[in-house]
Structures are given as structure tokens and as C-alpha cells.
Amino acid sequence: MLTLKYIQDNQEEIISRLKTKRFDAKEVVANIVAADNDRKATQTQADQKQNELNTLSRSIGQLFKSGKKEEANEAREKTTGLKEEIRNLNANLSEIEKKIQGLLVQVPNIPHPSVPEGKGEEDNEVVKEGGEVPTLQEALPHWDLAAKYDLIDFELGTKLTGAGFPVYKGWGAKLQRALINFFLDEATKAGYNEVLPPLLVNEDSGFGTGQLPDKEGQMYHVTEDNLYLIPTAEVPVTNIFRDVVLDEKDLPVKQCAYSACFRREAGSWGAHVRGLNRLHQFDKVEIVQVANPENSYEVLEQMVAHAQSLVEKLELPWRILRLCGGDLSFTSALTYDFEVYSAAQERWLEVSSVSNFETYQANRLKLRYKKPGEKKPLLAHTLNGSALALPRIVAAILENNQTPDGIKVPKVLVPFMGTEIIK
């Protein structure tokens, strides 16, 4: 979230820039400023009363020593009243601070100046593309290919759990494992340290990365333990650094993780969400960096280049989109989406988002770094990206590589699969 000081010092800029996200911040910013002014006034009153109490308390002993017993008792009675006033002021202060916190989490992150105007995904800007779209005769969609080669059983998943929880079988399961290993190996080569995080997180972790209180409805909640199934490994991996102060020389910190991801988001019907196009549970490799604010946008470009290298090595047609303000997430300052083209479905499928959150998550996490010679730590920048999400990558591989003899395995996956073709 934005810091209170930043909001106080940049009210008009915040209101203006958040219009790009199609968010009217005027009222909430005014409420924050008013509440903060109320907090300052209440704190001043409490400090004045405390000083008065301290002075009076010191005088009581002197009055008794001087034989002024009546005056000493009057002073003692007055201290009782002051203590009650201070308790009430501190209680008010606590309520005001809760109110400010509740208002602060309502303000989205400020979009980067390069974020284009726009209402939704139709206004996203294509910044780069590559690869060749294959020409296929009578191409089958991946759900038919999965049935033909016994790779994925959607009905069995529905039986075991429900819609959106497929069962991968045989070569389908091996393709999943091959992609996970390939993505992790590539991340390791790029300098990311692999971690294997928990699949459930507490409320503090959900708050730290911005899933709570914004996205409760999209997360699976274990009510008895008050834990949440992770929607992405970004949540536990970024929270590793909650309440941590890093040395500037150690930045950037680079982490990667494979995890299952759980989302309650599926809801519409049709071919665009059929099969692997939208799931409640799916696998993903995530890359996360904690960076110095001075070069975090260079880091973002490096992360984008890493995701690009993956789709290129998988020989898939791809494009990169810069998200417009209307499609940008609540917490992101700048996001690039990756899409691969499905020749069978004849449409683009999103497979990755790479984002810079600047200090927005770091302020929630209290994630800071210290410059040499400086006493006060500074907020770091956090970034993350999918590298990559598996379902639509699998869909594109199956659909684009289908032949009369079977499905060709991308060359980079052959060592992991042990075959060049799935029959």
C-alpha cells in the first residue's frame, strides 16, 4: 500500500494518476488526510496531558516534603483525572489508526507513467511478438487431443473433486513434470534460488502481497485453521521477506518456486474456458525478485526477457502486452502479459504476467533494505512473474504440434520426456 506520508505529500498527483486505473481516489484520499490530521491532533492532546501528568506527579513528593499535605492530595486527585483522560485519548488514537489503516488498503498502487489508458484487455498494448503460427489441417483442440492420446481426464477430475481439477495421465503427466523441471532449470541458470514453499498461508501473508482484503472471494479458505490455499507461489515466496531488513549489497534477491495454485475464479462457460483454458488447480513456476528501487525497472525487463526465452525455446508463437490502466491489477505499477497462440482454437492464450509492484507490497510487508552509512532503512521494490503457468502452455504445445503421427515434443523437452513424439 502507499505510505501515509506519500499520500499526505502527493494528494493531487495520486488522484490524477489513479484515473489511469479508472479509480476515483478523491474521496478516499480526502478521508485519509482528514483522519491523519485527527490522529495528529489527538496525539498532541495525549502528549500534552502526559506531560502535565508527569509534571504533577513529580510535584506531589515535593509538596508532601514541604508539609503541604492538602495541596499534595489535590494534586493526586488531579492525576487520577488526567490518567483517565489519557486512557480515553489513547483509545481514540487506536480507533483513528485502525480507521486510517482501513482507508489505506482501499487505495490502489500508482500506475507507472508508461501504462497506457484503456478500459480493459481490449486496450492492452502489444509491445513485441515472435514465433511462427503453424498451418494445420483439421486441427483438434487440446481437450480432444487429450482424450485421443489419453493424456488428461477431465471427467475423472470432476468425479474426484469437481470441475476445474483435471487428472493428468501417462504422457500428459510426464509432460507436466518435464515442463516444471525445464522451467526450474532455466530459472536456476538465470541465477534464481529455488525454494519449495507451503501451499497454505496465513492472513498476514495474504495481506502482505495484497490478496487480502481484496481477493478473499477468489481464494480457497480453510475456515477452521483460518488458512488460505495459495493462488500463486508469489504469496509465500515474497512473504519470506516480511519484516526483514536486507543489506543493499545483497540486492537483488532472486527466488523461484514451483507450486500448485488454487483459484475459485472459474465461472463462465464456452470454448474459451473449456479444458485447460481455466482451472481451479494448476501448476506454475514463479520467479520473484526483491530489488533496489534505483534499478527495479531494469530488473523488470530482465524478468520479461527470461519469460520470453522460455516461450521461444518451446517454439511457440508469442506476444507481449503492456497492460492498460483498466486491466492493471490493484497492486501492480506495471505489468507485461505473455500470450501464446493456439492454432487449433485460433486465439491467444495468456501464460504469464510479469509485474513491478514498486514499494506497494514492501510497505505492507515491512520489507526494507539498508544503505551503507544510513541509519534509516528504505522500502525495497518487489517484482514477480510466471515463468511459466502450465495449463495453456500444455494446450498450445498439444494443439500446435499435432501431426498425423502424434504430437511432436518440443526439442528442449525431449531430454525430460525421453521421447520425441507422443503417440
Q: What is the mean pLDDT of residues 24-51?
A: 97
pLDDT exceeds cutoff 70 at 268: no
pLDDT value, residue 234 = 98
- In which region does residue 243 sit, left (phi positive, over 0), alpha (psi from -120 to 50) or beta (all else)? left
Digit-coded pLDDT (tens) for 167-207:
999 999 999 999 999 999 999 999 999 999 999 999 999 99
pLDDT exceeds cutoff 90 at 70: no
pLDDT exceeds cutoff 60 at 266: no
Give me 21's grid cell: 486505473
241, 264 in Cβ contact below 8 A? no
DSSP output for 309-339: HHHHHTT--EEEEEPPGGGS-SS-SEEEEEE
pLDDT value, residue 271 = 55
Phi, psi of 317 (to 5 degrees): -70, 135
Single pTM value for the model: 0.93
Phi, psi of 400 (to 5 degrees): -75, -25
282/261 Cα distance (integer angstroms):
5
Q: What is the mean pLDDT of residues 266-295?
A: 86
Annotated binding site: 232, 263-265, 286, 350-353, 384
pLDDT value, residue 65 = 75
pLDDT value, residue 137 = 85
392/304 Cα distance (integer angstroms):
18
pLDDT exceeds cutoff 90 at 397: yes
The overall average pLDDT reported for the chain is 95
127, 336 in Cβ contact below 8 A? yes
Which residue shows C-alpha cell 485453521?
225
Residues 6+ apart with CB under 8 A from 230: 197, 198, 199, 200, 201, 236, 259, 261, 262
pLDDT value, residue 77 = 84
Digit-coded pLDDT (tens) for 104-129:
999 999 999 999 999 999 999 999 99
Give me 196's grid cell: 519449495
Domains of the chain, residue spans: 4-104, 121-422
pLDDT value, residue 367 = 98
Residues 6+ apart with CB under 8 A from 240: 195, 197, 255
Annotated binding site for L-serine: 232, 263, 286, 384
- Other CB atoms within a 10 A radius of the CB of residue 347 amount to 12
CATH class of 121-422: alpha beta
pLDDT exceeds cutoff 70 at 270: no
Digit-coded pLDDT (tens) for 91-105:
999 999 999 999 999
Alpha helices in 271-411 (DSSP H): 296-313, 360-365, 390-400
pLDDT value, residue 216 = 79
Annotated binding site for ATP: 263-265, 350-353
**Structural domain 4-104, CATH architecture:** Orthogonal Bundle (1.10)
